[in-house]
Structure 1
Amino acid sequence: MAAKPSGAGKAPAWTTPADVRTASLRAWNSGELLREAALPTGLHPRRRALKHPSATQLRTDYALAAAWAASWVPAPQGCSLDHVSVGASTIGANTLPAAAVFASASDEILFLGLGRESAKFTELSRRVTELDAGLTAWAMLRPLELLKYGEDALTAARVALWFAANPAPGIYLRQLSLPGVHTKFVENHRRLIDGILAVLAPERPLVGKNYARRHGFHAAPDRVRVRYLDSAQAPVPGMDDVEMTAAAFAAHPLDVDRIITTENLINFLALPPAPRTLAVFGGGYGFEGIRDAAWLKDVEVLYWGDIDTHGFHILDQLRSHHPHVHSILMDEETLLAHRDFWGREALPSHAVLTHLDASENTLYEALKASTHQPQLRLEQELLRWDWVLARLP
């Protein structure tokens, strides 16, 4: 383009090499470019159109247009340029870049400067396919995962292959004997292993909270920790803090009139002596230990949790198994009396709860609606102990 006078003004939004790079990076980040490089489907040659100066803009902002055209010279590595003639009938023909063309996915990867990563993926996909041909589908589905985890992805693939071949191993996960694989590896790569297994055995459901049980392994039984707040009822003098399996707790009714279950360990340990009363440590959503204890229907059951949406969600779930459960220290009076200790709940629950009483539901809805403060949370261990003692039943 020959130099001509230019008009002043802000540079128009013409497509820059950086803009094309952004578009190509989206294709890389979706895994598309790695898939296309390995198994082309016809997406390439790919033509990425460029927004270029119009004839009017050439006349009014010629210097800017010339600078823009120069930014495309030479063509970036990995692509060629298609050109178009603009302004022939007004200011004279000017040849401008109209599209960046990538002959292949490999060329587009070269344009991004990611050739080394692409070569690494090619090697990893070859090795994972050598483990089992069925793993090719996973490598193509999750190419960036394979690239990210590298050698760990190959190890995870070996674990997934073993899981697929042994759907009901009937051993503890810790007993898994694969060379170079330890229990911590499985624990730290559960999502990766399950993702691979979902491709290897799509008909196999992967459900359940307990990872070991989900894959047919034995799992440590749920346990219940209790404190006899009436020392006279302890099974052995001085043995007032006892832990047992949930099955034992459910099968053997304890001779008490009242149970107080709390999520916080220190509160569990600090509860004062009380006649014929048992304290149970719940540990958040981990109340599975008392869920199946049918004998609780003949005992007063009190639940003390955090004043936040999840505290009421836990209460709701517990009450779905034991409808007679009463909440304590989870009321608006307690909340407002401890304003100095208010905190924030990271991820509030918005579940519809159907087992709360009217006052509990009112407070739960107020928490969801941020009536007092957004994402309000009052942790039970922050309550003043004199307040607690004055209100314990």
Structure 2
Amino acid sequence: MLRELVEPTGLYPRRRSLKRPTAAELRNDYAAARAWAAELSAATGHYSLETVDVGRTTIGSNQLPAAAMFATVEDEIAFAGKTRESVRFLDLVAGLSELDPALRGWALKRPLQLLGLGGAALTAAQVALWLRDNPAPGIYVRQLSLPGVHTKFIENHRRVIDEMEAVLLEGASAEAEPEALTEASDVAEDASVVADAPDTVLGAGAARTPAARFDRRHGFLHPPERVRFRLLDPETPLLGGPDDVMVTAEAFGALRLPVRTVIVTENLVNFLSLPQRPRTLAIFGGGYGFLALRDAGWLRDCRVLYWGDLDTHGFRILDQLRAVHRHVASVLMDEATLLAHCDAWGSEPSPSRAALTRLTDEESIVYKSLGNDDYGSAVRLEQELIRWDWALERLLP
């Protein structure tokens, strides 16, 4: 109905069928049926009623409402009690159209979302217009100087801004010279991709978070990925002594450390608790964020062990890490460890069903068994619940 207010399609007058009582319902509860018909007949200010004859052969002829006929969309909106909302919607559409006529198209695609956003939609439209007119600005989102626009606003409205920019780019391509049409269409298609879809492969150019993907898509600067690590070799002091260091991914990739073994773990306490060992480095993984390790080519010359949670998402993270470094071996992610700690099993909230192609045969068996509930319903063993003596025997043989 909101779309019909803006772009009439000839839908009105509009007939709305009514679910009316049957002859049996009339016989069993005549008072309720009569009250229903009377209520509809008394509220005919916004519609006219069509009636049918019901019950002629059972309890006698009764004229019951069969359909309501609305002459205009405004009449039906008024009957629904939404006149005030419809006026607000038209005001918002007018505001968007004043900013750029192409934005009217977005309003028609998302009428209820526009109502829900209210004035924030106009602010999001101003951001989309700025992005259209300032491709690849090379600044941080924080530096965007538009009224009412701040980092948190961008974070909360990324998808709307992307959709609006796509509409604007489509409008621009329609007015462009023929040789510019293809380029503008490609940009619009890229902008219309769902902003927060996860990367399936952490290859070149992948972005780890929705914010990072938004920044990359629009040419904003984004804080660099960072790597946190500990050098476990006491004979090789790092930076004058500290053994817990965080550097940018670029700096990590340029390191030349005298290590032969690298242990990646997802749990902070495990990371901090790993004991000293010659020529060994520990990395705090932090979930699906292995983009920071992609360009550290020197890791290919090391034995890399990955220790994640023994659940489906732990194997999924392992699979994605191998997209960056295929030689990674898992540790403490085997069936023997799982069964030896059944007293510590928990429940995985949303088990993964993804097809993982980079697991070994043994890993695939455990992954599929977890996903199929062969050990029990949504079983998981968090890495911090594995006995420390058991862990050290397998991590540092």
Give the TM-score, by structure 2 length. 0.84
Structure 1 residue 35, shift from structure 2 partner: 0.9
Change in Cα spacing, 1:304 to 1:76, as seen in structure 2 (3 Å) is farther
Partner of 1:176: 144
Q: Is the aligned partner of 1:298 residue 2:301?
A: yes
Partners in 2 of 1:57 and 1:197 — Cα distance? 55
Q: Is the aligned partner of 1:200 residue 2:171?
A: no
2:100 equivalent among 125, 129, 132: 132
Which aligned pairs between 1:137-156 and structure 2 lie closer than 5 A?
137-156=105-124
Structure 1 residue 62, shift from structure 2 partner: 4.9
Partners in 1 of 2:227 and 2:24 — Cα distance? 79
Q: What stretches of structure 2 of length at least 5 have no aligned partner?
A: 171-184, 194-205
SS at match of 2:304: strand
Structure 1 residue 256, shift from structure 2 partner: 0.4
Contact 1:256 1:277 in 2 (8 A): yes
Q: Is the aligned partner of 1:73 residue 2:41?
A: yes
Partner of 2:225: 222
Partner of 1:249: 252
Structure 1 residue 328, shift from structure 2 partner: 1.0
Partners in 1 of 2:223 and 2:23 — Cα distance? 75
Partners in 1 of 2:256 and 2:248 — Cα distance? 13
Q: Is the aligned partner of 1:103 residue 2:103?
A: no
Q: Partner amino acid for 1:320? A: A
Q: What stretches of structure 1 of length at least 5 have no aligned partner?
A: 1-32
Partner of 2:345: 342
Which aligned pairs between 1:42-121 and structure 2 lie closer than 5 A?
42-53=10-21, 62=30, 65-75=33-43, 78-86=46-54, 93-121=61-89
Q: Partner amino acid for 1:380? A: Q
Contact 1:306 1:378 in 2 (8 A): yes
1:354 equivalent among 353, 357, 382: 357
Structure 1 residue 302, shift from structure 2 partner: 0.3
Partners in 2 of 1:334 and 1:77 — Cα distance? 73
Structure 1 residue 148, shift from structure 2 partner: 0.7
Partner of 1:332: 335
Contact 1:163 1:197 in 2 (8 A): yes
SS at match of 2:40: coil
Contact 2:290 2:324 in 1 (8 A): no
Structure 1 residue 179, shift from structure 2 partner: 2.4
Decide which structure has the larger Cα Rg and report it.
1
Q: Partner amino acid for 1:143? A: P
Q: Partner amino acid for 2:127? A: V
Change in Cα spacing, 1:117 to 1:340, as seen in structure 2 (3 Å) is farther
Q: Is the aligned partner of 1:277 residue 2:245?
A: no
Partners in 1 of 2:350 and 2:54 — Cα distance? 56
Partners in 1 of 2:239 and 2:19 — Cα distance? 84
Q: Partner amino acid for 1:290? A: L
Contact 2:231 2:238 in 1 (8 A): no
Structure 1 residue 90, shift from structure 2 partner: 7.2
Partners in 1 of 2:363 and 2:140 — Cα distance? 42
Q: Partner amino acid for 1:163? A: L
Structure 1 residue 58, shift from structure 2 partner: 5.4
Deviations 1:174-206 (A, max 9, x none): 221212211221122212211222222243213
Partners in 2 of 1:277 and 1:58 — Cα distance? 84
Q: Partner amino acid for 2:85? A: E
Partners in 1 of 2:44 and 2:336 — Cα distance? 68
Give the TM-score, by structure 1 length. 0.85
Tell me the percent identity. Answer: 58
Q: Number of aligned residue pairs: give it.
A: 361
Contact 1:37 1:104 in 2 (8 A): no
Q: Partner amino acid for 1:360? A: E
Q: Which moved more, 1:305-314 or 1:343-352?
A: 343-352
Q: Partner amino acid for 2:386? A: L
RMSD over equivalenced CA pairs, Å: 2.3
